Structure 1
Amino acid sequence: MAAMDGSSVSQKASLSSLPINLIRARIWLLGNLLLVFGLLDRAVSIYADSYVSAQEFVQLTIPALLLMSWLYLKPEEDWVDSGLEHLQTYHEQPISQRDKAYLSTAQHRMNELKNLHQISQHYTLPFPYLCQIYHLLNLKHLENVHGFSLNNLRVVEINEVKPTAIGGAIKFSTVLDSSINALRIWRQPVVEVDLVLHTPYMVELTIPVYQEKRITVIFNVWPIDEDHHEFLVDIYTDLKWPKLLLQGILHFAASLTLFEDLPYLKKLADMNTKRLFNVRASGHSTMWLFKRFADLYGPKRRLGER
């Protein structure tokens, strides 16, 4: 991508440092959950004796009206843009034909999954684009960076690797290395996870949940300049949970993992990012997908330019 002018970048970075729309959306979702819980709690207690008095009816009506009013106060939709169309107008410089093709590939895959779409999150982060790509393609980050949120998940085996013309795919097995991990309630002890590099800007992670149900996370990482990138997270699933509850859980999980990412991304940014390509000398199988990225888009191509 072409670099933006300094004032434009600093303005976007400062705006993204306090994502007001995102904060409003989180508060709105939390309010929904609390009001629904309160409404259900009152309904269960009132109908327990199979009789509804006038006072109890009023007690049930008030939270119902509050919930309807709260739903009406839904924030603006720009924070949950589930597509990539805005990227074509977000940047001040035109997008090259090559990157338009990458964008089209990403949009095609997201269109295939659109009926399963649950949430979107969009951030502008003050780290080089390459740091985010390295982080996403390094399987060990699931163990090290997300040790808290994933509660001792371990990568135990690389099952399959498959290069493509502009990316690659890897299948690997994970195990829950903790007897108290809440995920044990529904998932198998060992499951096979798919990680796909679709384009130099798009990564897809697919995770089995239970009974053939899956969660798919698509990450789009688009450079703004040498020190900033856009980070878009879209989550899809065929879980048949109540939509409001499911979206609340997924928003919380995605936000938690991002907060876990930030110190690690800062550590990577403090390094000379060109050193990250030295990983090609490593034979560790957990780095296969990044090595594939490095072979395709390494120092011979100047990343982040359009």
Structure 2
Amino acid sequence: MYKSIDNSQIAANRALEIEIFTNQMKRGVWCLGVAAWIFASLERAIAIFSTSYLHLASLTQLFPPILFLLTWLFLKPEVTPTPIPTYFPLIHTNESQQLSSDDSPFPLKLKKYHLISQEYILPFSYLCQIYHLLNLKHLETIHRFSLNHLQIVSVTHTQPTRQGGKIKFTTALNSPWNPLRIWRQPLVEVDLTLHNPYTVELSIPVYNRKRITVMFNVLPLTEEEHYFFIDIYSDLQWFRPFLQIILHFAACLTLFEDLSYLKSLQQRQVQRLFQENQFPQHQNMWLYRRFVEVWEGNV
């Protein structure tokens, strides 16, 4: 599945690693600054309004942190599109040709709803990442903390496509204190779509017929290393910087939870995950079985 990597490709990929790290550092510093100025503004507001009387001199103390917060928001670093052509020489040409532009999961209308991007280089086979993304059960186990005991109730619909498939499943928030209730109903139907062997889409309905859509892109670098891209879109009409901070934190937390699981998958024989006698037969793994059915010859 992989071609040999020459020195120019290695150098290009190392340069890309530095660019990804720099972009992440800029976004991290910006998000930290936003949080700091929000805290400073709230602290001043609480101190001012907790007194028994107000006067103009005390109110003026609130203006500097608010001014700095607004200024900092306008200083948001621009997201530089990450070049991806250097990845594709590592993949067989025949396989790449199957991923035609007609099947692109990124319609132009989604661009205006883009909120955050995150990029990582992970020391695991990309097959481990695909197995993890298509395994519904891990939402209940691996993400027990971040999703606060979310429950997979049932799979309600499956639909095969030429390059993958789509599955609908119902999830329940059993805890009345689950923070996910701030933007979704306790019982909703979630969509999970395999667009091609490297792209998985998770679409979650939220209040007022809005949605949060997460696009996962997995691109192999070597047999034991891959690039992992997370892009989140939403038409929620929330204050954009606040929503971006929440989503960045949530994405980082869930990735942190995934690392030990990915490591355990890597320590197993990865190819065994895609052998027919290893297929789990329950509906939670239907999309995984569909991936193997369509792409087994390329794995």
Shorter-chain TM-score category?
0.7 to 0.9
Q: TM-score, normalised by structure 2?
A: 0.85
Aligned length: 293
Q: Secondary structure at the residue paired with 2:117?
A: strand
- The alpha-carbon deviation at position 210 of structure 1 amounts to 1.7
Which moved further from structure 2: 171-180 or 99-108? 99-108
> What does residue 245 of structure 2 align with?
248
Once the two structures are TM-superposed, the CA of residue 277 in structure 1 deviates from its matched residue by: 1.3
1:286 aligns with 2:287: no
Distance 2:226 2:199 in 1: 13
Q: Which residue of 1 aligns with 2:207?
A: 210
Moved more, 199-208 or 102-111: 102-111
Matched, 1:238 2:220: no
Q: TM-score, normalised by structure 1?
A: 0.83
- Aligned partner of 1:32 in structure 2 is 34
Provide the C-alpha distance between the structure 2 equivalents of 1:77 and 1:281, rounded to a whole number of angstroms: 40
Secondary structure at the aligned position of 1:109 is classed as coil
Deviation at 1:176, TM superposition (A): 1.6
Distance in 1 (CA, whole Å) between partners of 2:23 and 2:129 is 23
Distance in 1, matches of 2:100 and 2:255, equals 23
Q: Tell me: higher relative CO, structure 1 or 2? Use CA pairs within 8 A at least 6 residues apart.
A: 1
1:229 and 1:160 mapped to 2: Cα distance?
A: 31
Task: Give 1:109 shift.
Answer: 2.1
* Correspondence 1:197 to 2:194: yes
Map 1:8-47; keep pairs closer than 5 Å: 8=10, 12=14, 15=17, 19-39=21-41, 42=44
Q: Does 1:161 align with 2:154?
A: no
Superposed, 1:1-306 pairs within 5 Å as 2-5=3-6, 8=10, 12=14, 15=17, 19-39=21-41, 42=44, 51-53=55-57, 56-57=59-60, 59-67=61-69, 70-71=72-73, 74-75=76-77, 77-78=79-80, 81=81, 86-89=83-86, 96=93, 98-99=95-96, 102=99, 104=101, 107=104, 109-278=106-275, 281-298=279-296, 300-301=297-298, 303=299
- 1:89 positional shift: 4.4
**Do the aligned residues in 2 keep the contact of 1:13 with 1:126 (CA within 8 Å)?**
no
Pick which of 261-270 and 85-94 moved more.
85-94
Q: In the TM superposition, what is the alpha-carbon distance from 1:26 to its structure 2 partner?
A: 1.7
Q: Which amino acid aligns with 1:217?
A: V
Separation of aligned partners in 1, 2:120 and 2:100: 18
The structural deviation recorded for 1:225 is 1.1
Q: Deviations over 1:29-72 (max 9, x none)?
A: 1211321342355467658966422x652x33432453366456
Q: Is the 8 A contact 1:4 1:224 kept in 2?
A: no
Q: Which structure 1 residue ranges, 5 or more long, are not aligned?
A: none
Among all aligned residue pairs of Structure 1 and Structure 2, give the percentage whose two residues are the same amino acid. 47
Contact conserved, 2:167 with 2:193, CA < 8 A, in 1?
yes
In the aligned structure 1, how far is the partner of 2:103 from the partner of 2:214?
13
Distance 1:98 1:90 in 2: 13
Would you say the 8 A contact 1:39–1:63 is kept in 2? yes
